[in-house]
Chain A
Amino acid sequence: MPRSRPSLLPLAPLLTIAVLLLPVGAGLAGVLAPAFGWFPALGGTSLSLEPWRALLAWPGLPDAVWLSLTTGLGATALSLLITVMICAAWQGTRAFGVIERALSPLLSVPHAAAAFGLAFLIAPSGWIARALSPWATGWDQPPDILITQDPMGLSLMAGLVVKEVPFLLLMTLAALGQLPARRSVLLAQTMGYGRMAGWVLTVFPRLYAQIRLPVYAVLAYSCSVIDVALILGPTRPSTLAVQVLEWLSDPDLSLRFQAAAGAVLQLGLILGVLLLWRLGEMTAARLGCACIRRGHRLARDGAIRAAAMGLALIMALAVGLGILGLAVWSVAGFWTFPDLLPDQLTWRNWMRQSDGLIRIALETAVIGTVATLISVTLTIACLEAEYRHGLRQSARALWLLYLPLIVPQATFLIGLQTLAIGTGWTGAQAAVIAAHVIFVLPYVFLSLSDPWRSWDARQGLVAASLGAGADRILWRVRLPMMLRPVLVAAAVGFAVSVGQYLPTLLIGMGRVTTLTTEAVALSSGGDRRLIGVYALSQTIMPLAGFALALALPALLFRNRRGMLDRG
């Protein structure tokens, strides 16, 4: 007879929701209070609108808000457009597999590293200028033009797009698995529609409903991003989020009130942009319906299909060459301007850094590993509770999962920091790990839940009929069979943790350093060799995680053909 013992498993979903929601809620409270003058530790003991007056009195405000708005909306619209173009033009063909393989590795590249790589490529003294000089441009000095950090934020948008397209593409691929996409397109084609028109008119409307939340996450992220904006974004004025962070790190503590008001404004900005986007969705749906009613076949789409392929390859190439650029700079000795390669290669840049680099890399790995372990454990506990107790995930639960990805980091993390200062829980590694879990957990859950749920439940039934209890089934049957998706989800989580900038910076209070905070901190100094060393290390670490996640199951199950090509 099975012994019945008290189990904590049914509580797992509740605990997970608490882990996600409490920090967001507490953080919002913690930023609202100082935004309205309440911050006892700094002498703010009465409610006032003074922080808002100070914020509104800052002359750069309209420009900063406009910049956040245009770069965020622009980057998101462009990312979605390119993703749709790629899928509409090539989904279901062999070329699509090539695009997929070229773009999916970009997912593991941290935002900051991709931004540095792009900067090294397009800067006036970057590889593109070097390749064209002096024979085409006549430059024997780097030209004095602003390419990165351009005042319109175009390079910032480019830096966001190369990272968000792979993300949206992955989300689209996952959703496409549940749609009869190829048959729909084929049907439309037999009626004379072009491949792209067929896809956009028949597949995309159903697909968009499923990738709406990821798109909102991209939108919120792009409007409030800090690390990429520090590297590629304009200065004076910078985007609102960057400006808020600047006030926050000012030695003049009274600016914290103004910073809190700015952070609340940031939240309002996101809500406004989301509303605007929603209106855009409805307009697009109208236009689509009108187009269908008129029956235009749009059959000649060869040029756009080629353009989609070109864009995908340019993005893969930009990030790939960017990373290569980081690598070359990290071992560069003397390197004069129009030369394509440095005069000599040297390990000196790495050796000089080795002590600090090893310590920081280790800290990054520890934080990432612990945050990932916690997230994977919670995720599996949730999914297992769902399986054993027959729970179903509601649409609302999915929203909860996305909440930490949609509420801007710059808003609720500032509140969390305020609370953490009040309770003295800052600068501790444990606090940073806890902050990372808020962002790692949703990604781990999103990447593991589909494969976990698609496991053939009859395997569990057979095991049970052979006398195995629920725990034995989990440990001996399900987890081994799920090893690959579990490890891939862990690698995704680890990559998310390694890439985190703001949680480490704000909750670590400068006492906890990771490869990301170090690399971004170096950006203002402009020492390219040093940036190369740190940004490359930052790229290698998540890549190593993915390599391990793919190699380990292949090694363990090398004699089990039934375990290959799964998950």
Chain B
Amino acid sequence: MTDGLRLEHLKITLGDRRLVDLDECIAPGEILSVMGPSGSGKSTLLSVLIGRPDPGFAVAGRVLLDGRDLSGLGPQARRIGLLFQDDLLFPHLSVGENLAFALPAAIKGCAAREARIAAALEAADLRGFAGRDPATLSGGQRARVALMRCLLSAPRALLLDEPFSRLDADLRRQMRDFVFGRVRAEGIPAILVTHDLEDALAAGGKVISPLGEVRQTAKPA
């Protein structure tokens, strides 16, 4: 039993083209950055990790999460959280309802659930925002809600798909600190997919291409 996210000889090919070739182990609290230009297989890697591979791609190797083989599982059974560049908050639900959607049903009782949601908002510096319409929030606020929604579902790993690329420079730095800080605090392994070197370096972990070429080794913590 090994904790963390393990990509075991994961190879993804399209016809003769090798798109992804990785053999990596990401420990809890660690962030692996996968960097490359668009079309380099980053999104293919993500779709395979989520469990919605695009048809036509051949996948070899295994993905293990805390020792559990994820082969054949759909996205709802993998417990891998997902953060896109768009916040994708559900527009028909309030901020609190968005968070409640993510909170596992195992947490029972209105008071207990509301307390968890309030705590999550507090942690994102959004106290009292539960009743708000997501469309009335600023970009940074929405991005923070999206991250808290993701974390409330108690994921065992996190995939970050260019999560900062829509934010301006100032906000970008803040959001980076916030996201990476939460990842370390929660102690879950994360993969950051990006084409921005600054983002990748800020993550503080190893930086590699989809084919496993190392751009930057992990900084000592």
Q: Which residues of A contact B (CB under 8 A)?
A: 1-2, 390, 456, 458-459, 461-470, 476-477, 480-481, 483, 557, 559-563
Contacts and interface: CB of A to CB of B under 8 A. Distances in A.
B182 to A, nearest CB: 16
Given A456-B88, A464-B75, A466-B150, A476 B101 contact: yes
A563 B75 CA distance: 26
A561 B90 contact: no
Contacts of B90: 459, 463, 477, 480-481
B50 interface: yes
Given A2-B74, A458-B86, A465 B81 contact: yes
A480 B98 CA distance: 13
B91 A560 contact: yes
B92 A480 contact: yes
Given A469-B76, A562-B134, A461 B91 contact: no
Contacts of B77: 1-2
A39 B63 CA distance: 68
Contacts of A458: 84, 86, 88
Contacts of B91: 481, 560, 562-563
Nearest to B76: A464
Interface string B63-96: 0000000000011111111101010111111100
A1 B70 CA distance: 12
B82 A561 contact: no
A466 B78 CA distance: 9
Interface of B: 50, 52, 55, 74-82, 84, 86, 88-94, 101-102, 104, 133-136, 149-150, 153, 155
Nearest to B82: A465
Contacts of A464: 74-76
A468 B86 CA distance: 20
A560 B150 contact: no
Contacts of B149: 466
B87 to A, nearest CB: 9
Given A456-B88, A477-B90, A481-B91, A463 B52 contact: no
Contacts of B81: 465-466
Contacts of B50: 461, 465
A467 B81 CA distance: 9
Nearest to B52: A461
Given A481-B91, A557-B92, 6 more contacts: A459-B88, A465-B80, A480-B90, A480-B93, A562-B91, A562-B134
Contact of B104 (A467, A483, A557): A467
Contacts of B89: 562
B75 A560 contact: no
A200 to B, nearest CB: 38
The 9 closest A-B pairs by CB, nearest first: A562-B91, A561-B135, A464-B75, A562-B135, A465-B82, A466-B153, A466-B102, A480-B92, A464-B76
Q: Max chain B CB contacts within 10 Å: which of A463, A467, A563?
A: A467
A1 B89 CA distance: 25
B78 A465 contact: yes
A441 B81 CA distance: 39
B36 to A, nearest CB: 21
A469 B134 CA distance: 23
A463 B135 contact: no
Contacts of B55: 390
Nearest to B92: A480
A559 B133 CA distance: 7
A476 B100 CA distance: 12
Contacts of B78: 465
B133 A465 contact: no
B133 A468 contact: no
